[in-house]
Structure 1
Amino acid sequence: MKSDGLLSIIIVNYNSRELLKNCLHSIQSTVEIQEVEIFVADNDSLDGSVEMVRDNFPEVEIIANDSNIGYSKAINQAIRPSLGKYILILNADTIVMPGAIQTLLSFMENNPDCGVAGPKLSYPDGKLQYSCRTYQTVKTTLFRRTFLGRIFPKSKVLRDHLMLDWDHCSEREVDWLQGSVLMLRRWAIDRTGPMDERYFLYFEDVDLCYRMKIAGWKVCYVPQAEVIHYYRRASYGKSLFNRDLFVHLTSMLRYHDKWSKILYMAKRCMHILKFPSRISLDFVGILFSLRLAFSLRESIGLIESKPLYPIDIYYQPLMVFSICTLSIYYFMGLYENKRHKSWIDRLFSISKGILISCLVMILFHFFSEGYQHGLVYSRIVLVTFTIINILVTLFIHQSIHFLSRLLWRHGFNLRRSLIVGTDPTAIRIGKMLSAGPDLGYDLVGFISLPKNSKKPQHLQIIGDVENLVEICLRERIQEVVFVNVDEHFENIVLPLTKFRKKFINTRIISNDSESKVIDTRIKDFFGFPSLEFERGSYYYLTLGLKRLTDVFMALFSITLLSPLIFFIYVLLKVEGREVFFTQKRVGKNGKEFPMYKFRSMFDDAERVKRHLENIVTEGPIFKVKNDPRVTPVGRILRRYNLDEIPQLINVLKGHMSIIGPRPPLPEEVAAYDRWHEARLEIKPGITGLWQVDKERKWKFDEMVRLDIYYILNWSPLLDIKILIRTPGAILRGTGFNG
């Protein structure tokens, strides 16, 4: 029966014929059936529930499933065709008391910031049922699921979790509400998503309320509305083989896998351990293959007449083989997450790597000292080792892939993802990632782009690109896929630079990405060419190495240039000027610091600045052609960038790095567009990418793009390239003044 659009009621039923009948009768006596639409989603009940509803309640729409698909999936089945502004979810074992539905509706209408509301629940004997609780923690789980709860039934842990120190007679905001009776705001559901179908039963209500809370919606307890609930804890039993207990524990683990902050950080940092662990496994496989091949050769010693050298003789060439093989695996991409790669592809890749390494090992042996003295390895051992190692390595890689897929199919260890963009390509990718967990992705939703009026109504758009970083941290996102964002590069560049520090993987799928600032390999993403920025698992390690290098180079440079520093000091004193000039600059994350220079201008240079002519501005940058404030000695210092030498002190103090974007003035930063702020994501440097260019005829936006290129593609090798080009820039007089 279709309503006028105000309320949709959804009941999930499984073998609860009489309870369902009583529930529907209570709804009939509470509201006018013509004012609401009622759905009953039946999970293949065998007690005649479907026939009972059809015979006694013809106005109710039946969704009859041919199997038990779970509570969450059945709820979503009914949400999709429903039309109500509000959705009331009921368990079949509830009795709605008079006025309860109208009270909840009035509350939702009067509180537009409330996404979920729940009534006061009572047992059939009138005793209060504790239906609102605080979020479950590890400590709470121990008391709820072990003997501790029986020994200490009045412990503070349980009292706080069940909110026992409150009379449950007043309206209040809570963490979550028991899912037996929930009224949902459709607009909130559209923004946060329906029930998570990975929960077969239990914890789907906790998950829904948590998503509502982090999205800014309130979860409210409304005791003026009362519902009787024939509640029993089916998962609570003494037997460890209780099926409901197993389902409950599985759902609990799934919830913590999805929302635990500790697990989220662990997943984001997983590359730190994943790469060395997989290399270690392959190395153990190589050692095992040699040992097995050698044992097989020993077992046929009576047949083979040639002497067999001890296994220790094989270890030297084995190390060469291992280094070569593991390096080839790495460059062939065998340690990457190619989730759709078949075992045949892996077999060919592994075979290719091992055979190439065998050739290298043979060449090594040919030129070794042992070969010159007549040392010849057993060909049976070498051939057997090669075959065994191919099979063992394939087994290791396939086992890892199998275990990963097994976890994904059961809803564990999925990579929570966002898609930035709402065009047809983005929608296609979204449908593919949402098709099932076999791909290992959990698509949270879509992010809209500015000036994009074409936003399909059916998409779950959870925010805009301006708040992308905050949304990613809030929703525990591990990967962001940007789709056709070329026209919006200025909007995505700030999140791109932040994601590397946040250990969030990033992909750009586009026909024409911003090649000026992106220098990474094109990889296949389920049939779409993508530019991938790996999460910076080693970011802080390499940052530490960069800091050590900066300190060493600063100390070395100060020592090497000490005669020149003394000479400049004497010149400035003879000229009658202060030797050093301190200027406020903006560093990493917008933090201001004092930057040091040799003084190259008259003492009142800043005061007369506003009276100058020939001022040139490029964006927020202030420059003066033939600046009259520059002293004769200062002109020489500036031409060869010698006035920047004191910034080595800034490097030692940690304000700056040797290489990085030049530090801007506070007034320049105040005039920045939002995307310009991306250059403040790392420490500023004395020299940088655009400073060592031969021409240096860049406009401000182009200089920022080069700084962003450096940030996105930073590596020790890139620093070395810039450092090599710096002396030439200084001698040409086109160095890094600024």
Structure 2
Amino acid sequence: MAAPLAIVVVNFASTGLLRQHLVKTATDVRPDHVVVVDNWSSRAELDHVGQLARRQGWDLVAAESNLGFGGGVNLGVQRALQLGAEDILLLNPDASISAESVRILQERASTERDAVFSPLVLDSDGKVWFDGADVYLSDGVTRSVRKRFERPGEVRWEWLSGACLLVTDAAWRMSGGFDEDYFLYWEDVDFSRRIVGAGGSLYVVPEATAIHDEGGTQRVGAPQRAKSEGYYYYNIRNRLLFAAKHLDTDDARRWRRGAWASAREVLLRGGRRQFLRPWKPLRAAFRGVRDGRGYSVPEAVRRRQGAMDD
């Protein structure tokens, strides 16, 4: 018998996406609980998501402020565990998954309780969006596992996307949950690293598939590819925050030296047309690099120094 399952979704001004994706997923999967955390955006949005949750029988947790993705996930998982869930499916508002794929993930989780599992994630066109990823310690570049041939022999850490992730109660507790310092982006890279550091494992299960409508919560407006200022700022800042938390001094310095090159790569994800009016993306990049560089001494080094002092 499968462990009690809760689906946890963090909502931020995206009730329309919940109607489109979560209603379909919950109807098919029929989990024991659906927990929706509303990160505060407006009274109207809270009313809308509250009405939807009541109609669908979901458990709504209303945050008093916008806690960010990690803070919202932590609040939702806390509620799911209180309700008796032992398997927690973290799902983006713009993602969906079938009952059969969830069954496959839970079957794997039943034999490895100290692990986290991702399905193969496809975009709405059926192309592979996520099948495992690496972050390279030399420069902080993140790439799909399919591109390992481009950087043979380099030191890398694997990570799983938080867009759709099955986490056991044991793995959640051993990791300590999501680090709320990130607010948005890179918290899944950090979470993956702490799972491995605590002795757990990360798996992509290709027999299970999910669909992710990429950028549904961050696209400025179709058909543009431009992203929000928040997307640019947190992706740029949090790369350096991750370095401060996990790397030694030499690696962290290399990431800092490459901050502007990395920022350019992030900005180009939004296409070149946005640079016809470049103020907002460039402002986000400047703030991201400035604030990221403020994390000067790697936390891993401080922890080692503290241990030696003890």
Query: Which is further off, 204-213 or 188-197?
Result: 188-197
Contact 1:72 1:201 in 2 (8 A): yes
Q: What is the 5 A alignment of 1:615-626?
A: none
- Counterpart Cα distance in 1 of 2:52 and 2:219: 32
Q: Give the TM-score normalised by the residue count of structure 1.
A: 0.32
Percent identity between matched residues is: 24
Per-residue displacement from partner, 1:617-643 (whole Å, max 9, x unpaired)? Answer: xxxxxxxxxxxxxxxxxxxxxxxxxxx
TM-superposed deviation, 1:476: 4.9
User: CA, structure 1 residues 111+212, in 2 after alignment: closer, same or farther (shift >3 Å)?
Assistant: same
- Does residue 220 of structure 2 align to residue 224 of structure 1? no
User: CA, structure 1 residues 265+229, in 2 after alignment: closer, same or farther (shift >3 Å)?
Assistant: closer
Per-residue displacement from partner, 1:456-483 (whole Å, max 9, x unpaired)? Answer: xxxxxxxxxxxxxxxx89x954424xxx
- Provide the alpha-carbon RMSD of the alignment: 3.5
Contact 2:113 2:171 in 1 (8 A): no
User: CA, structure 1 residues 260+225, in 2 after alignment: closer, same or farther (shift >3 Å)?
Assistant: same
User: CA, structure 1 residues 165+258, in 2 after alignment: closer, same or farther (shift >3 Å)?
Assistant: closer
TM-superposed deviation, 1:220: 0.2
- Counterpart Cα distance in 1 of 2:69 and 2:204: 22
Contact 1:198 1:411 in 2 (8 A): no
Contact 2:121 2:131 in 1 (8 A): yes
- Counterpart Cα distance in 2 of 1:112 and 1:227: 21
Per-residue displacement from partner, 1:375-396 (whole Å, max 9, x unpaired)? Answer: xxxxxxxxxxxxxxxxxxxxxx
Corresponding position of 1:706: none
User: CA, structure 1 residues 139+5, in 2 after alignment: closer, same or farther (shift >3 Å)?
Assistant: closer
Contact 2:94 2:213 in 1 (8 A): yes
TM-superposed deviation, 1:104: 0.9
- Does residue 191 of structure 2 align to residue 208 of structure 1? yes
- Counterpart Cα distance in 2 of 1:208 and 1:201: 13
Q: What is the 5 A alignment of 1:543-582?
A: none
Corresponding position of 1:57: 53
The one-letter code of the counterpart of 1:27 is T
User: CA, structure 1 residues 203+57, in 2 after alignment: closer, same or farther (shift >3 Å)?
Assistant: same
The one-letter code of the counterpart of 1:218 is S
- Counterpart Cα distance in 1 of 2:6 and 2:136: 30
Corresponding position of 2:306: 479
TM-superposed deviation, 1:264: 8.5
Q: What is the 5 A alignment of 1:317-716?
A: 412=295, 416=299, 476-480=303-307, 499=308, 505-506=309-310
- Counterpart Cα distance in 2 of 1:81 and 1:204: 20
Structure 1: give runs of 5+ residues left out of the alignment. 145-160, 167-173, 267-406, 417-471, 481-498, 500-504, 507-738
TM-superposed deviation, 1:61: 1.5
Q: How many residues align?
A: 256
Contact 1:72 1:195 in 2 (8 A): yes
- Does residue 57 of structure 2 align to residue 90 of structure 1? no
- Counterpart Cα distance in 1 of 2:169 and 2:227: 39
- Counterpart Cα distance in 2 of 1:209 and 1:227: 19
The one-letter code of the counterpart of 1:412 is Y
TM-superposed deviation, 1:244: 2.0
Q: What is the 5 A alignment of 1:39-438?
A: 39-46=35-42, 48-58=44-54, 59-83=57-81, 84-113=85-114, 115-139=115-139, 141=141, 161-164=143-146, 175-232=158-215, 234=218, 242-262=229-249, 412=295, 416=299
User: CA, structure 1 residues 265+131, in 2 after alignment: closer, same or farther (shift >3 Å)?
Assistant: closer
The one-letter code of the counterpart of 1:203 is W
User: CA, structure 1 residues 478+77, in 2 after alignment: closer, same or farther (shift >3 Å)?
Assistant: farther
Contact 1:135 1:175 in 2 (8 A): yes
Structure 2: give runs of 5+ residues left out of the alignment. 149-156, 254-290
Q: Give the TM-score normalised by the residue count of structure 2.
A: 0.71
Contact 1:96 1:226 in 2 (8 A): yes
Q: Secondary structure at the match of 2:121?
A: strand
The one-letter code of the counterpart of 1:132 is G
TM-superposed deviation, 1:99: 1.2
TM-superposed deviation, 1:189: 2.0
Contact 1:120 1:223 in 2 (8 A): yes
- Counterpart Cα distance in 1 of 2:252 and 2:26: 50
User: CA, structure 1 residues 81+242, in 2 after alignment: closer, same or farther (shift >3 Å)?
Assistant: closer
User: CA, structure 1 residues 103+51, in 2 after alignment: closer, same or farther (shift >3 Å)?
Assistant: farther
Which of 1 and 2 has higher RCO (CA within 8 Å, sep 6+)?
2
The one-letter code of the counterpart of 1:71 is F
Contact 2:3 2:110 in 1 (8 A): no
Contact 1:132 1:163 in 2 (8 A): yes
Contact 2:10 2:76 in 1 (8 A): no
TM-superposed deviation, 1:253: 0.7
User: CA, structure 1 residues 54+413, in 2 after alignment: closer, same or farther (shift >3 Å)?
Assistant: same
Corresponding position of 2:153: none
Q: Secondary structure at the match of 1:25?
A: helix
User: CA, structure 1 residues 235+50, in 2 after alignment: closer, same or farther (shift >3 Å)?
Assistant: closer
TM-superposed deviation, 1:413: 5.1
User: CA, structure 1 residues 240+22, in 2 after alignment: closer, same or farther (shift >3 Å)?
Assistant: closer
Contact 2:36 2:60 in 1 (8 A): yes
- Counterpart Cα distance in 1 of 2:19 and 2:12: 12
- Counterpart Cα distance in 2 of 1:63 and 1:265: 37
- Counterpart Cα distance in 1 of 2:11 and 2:69: 9
Per-residue displacement from partner, 1:266-291 (whole Å, max 9, x unpaired)? Answer: 9xxxxxxxxxxxxxxxxxxxxxxxxx
User: CA, structure 1 residues 240+122, in 2 after alignment: closer, same or farther (shift >3 Å)?
Assistant: closer
Per-residue displacement from partner, 1:31-56 (whole Å, max 9, x unpaired)? Answer: 224xx222111112348443334333
The one-letter code of the counterpart of 2:89 is L
